[in-house]
Structure 1
Amino acid sequence: MDFSPLNEALVSKSYDKIAEILDELMLQAATDGVPYQDEWPYSIHLLGHIIANDINSARFLWKSIPGGVKESRPEVAAVWRIGQQLWLRDYAAVHEAVRGFDWSAELRDLVVAFSELYTKRIFLLLLSAYSTISIGDTARFLGMTEEDATNYTQRQGWIVDPASGMLTVTKQPVVKEQKLDSSKLQRLTEYVFHLEH
């Protein structure tokens, strides 16, 4: 089986494309009647869906993985533990599942990329949900020590009150990019041309 598109995505760190690439390869293998289950990179495929924030697809993939593979490849089960915690929305347990396994060299960069992306997602969730939050809760949500969470949030402009152990969330001003709509530009050009002639 030709995994070169997957390898290219991994080398270029286009992790958001992994699930789609492997879904297509799996479908192609099934269509062609090619046995693939023994050599399939299930852990990468599962993590690809998790990185894409597509937990439903990860769940369905997990259910389709043969029992023998689940038992013989502990890394596949470790990736699924991350997916389970995401499904349960147990934010702190997601970080524990990431740290609770000695990942292979093949998966290590992918897990680190997921962890960083997940921390950013949770930070944005906290940013939108709270005006003040305790340092302890912030640390649990972000999967950090209280000191690291305080430093991380302060770099984002949050204000710490050491006496109360609370963080005041500072909302960043929203910068909206104006996108140039070529059809509107074309109509404006035609209108100005019409006025001049």
Structure 2
Amino acid sequence: MDFSPLTDAMASKSYDKIADICDQLMLQVAADGVAFEDEWPYAIHLLGHLYVNDINSARFLWKSIPSAIKENQPQVVAAWKIGQRLWTRDHAGVYEAIRGFEWSQEAQPLVAAFSEIYTKRMFQLLLSAYSTISIEDTALFLGMNEDDAKNYVQQQGWLEDPASRMLTVKKQPIVTEQKLDPSKLQRLTEYVFHLEH
């Protein structure tokens, strides 16, 4: 079985392509009628779906994995634990599942990249959902201890009230598009026309 497209994607850190590559390879192998269960990189495949935030596809893949694989490959179960936490929106649990397993050398960079992108997603969620939030809750959402979470958000301009241990969220400025007045466009067109002739 030729896993070179997957190997290349992992080497180039194109983690957003892993799920699609694995899906295509799995379809190709299944169409060829080749038995592949024992050597299939199920953990990487699951993590690829989680990386692109495709929890439904990860659930479908999990259900299709033979029980013998689930019993004999703890990394597959560990990858699915992350998926379960995502499914139930247990944000702190996602980080616990990531840290609670000794990932293989092959999977470790993908897991680290997922953790980083998940933290960024959680930060964006906090940014859009809150005007103030406790340091404790911020730490849970970001998977950090309270000091690291406080430092992380303060670098983004958030302010702390030490007395209440609350953070004030600094909203990002909303960029609005400037509407072009049709009369200005007409004048510009006439000016360019004049320059060319």
TM-score after normalising by structure 2: 0.90
CA distance in 2, matches of 1:177, 1:20: 35
CA distance in 2, matches of 1:73, 1:175: 48
- Give, in angstroms, the shift of residue 174 of structure 1: 3.4
**1:1-197 superposed matches below 5 A:** 1-175=1-175
CA distance in 2, matches of 1:14, 1:177: 32
In structure 1, the gaps of 5 or more residues are 179-187
What CA deviation, in whole Å up to 9, does each residue of 1:73-109 have, x standing for no partner? 0000000000000000111100100010011111110
TM-score after normalising by structure 1: 0.90
CA distance in 1, matches of 2:121, 2:176: 19
In structure 2, the gaps of 5 or more residues are 179-187
| Partner SS state of residue 13, structure 2 | coil
CA distance in 2, matches of 1:77, 1:146: 29
- Give, in angstroms, the shift of residue 173 of structure 1: 1.5
- Give, in angstroms, the shift of residue 177 of structure 1: 8.6
Please identify runs of 4+ aligned residues in structure 1 that moved more than 4 A. 175-178
- Give, in angstroms, the shift of residue 176 of structure 1: 6.6
| Partner SS state of residue 106, structure 1 | coil
Deviates more, 1:31-40 or 1:58-67: 31-40
- Give, in angstroms, the shift of residue 193 of structure 1: 5.7
| Partner SS state of residue 36, structure 1 | coil
Considering only aligned residues, what root-mean-square deviation do their CA atoms show, in Å? 2.1
The structure with more radius of gyration: 2
1:59 alignment partner AA: R
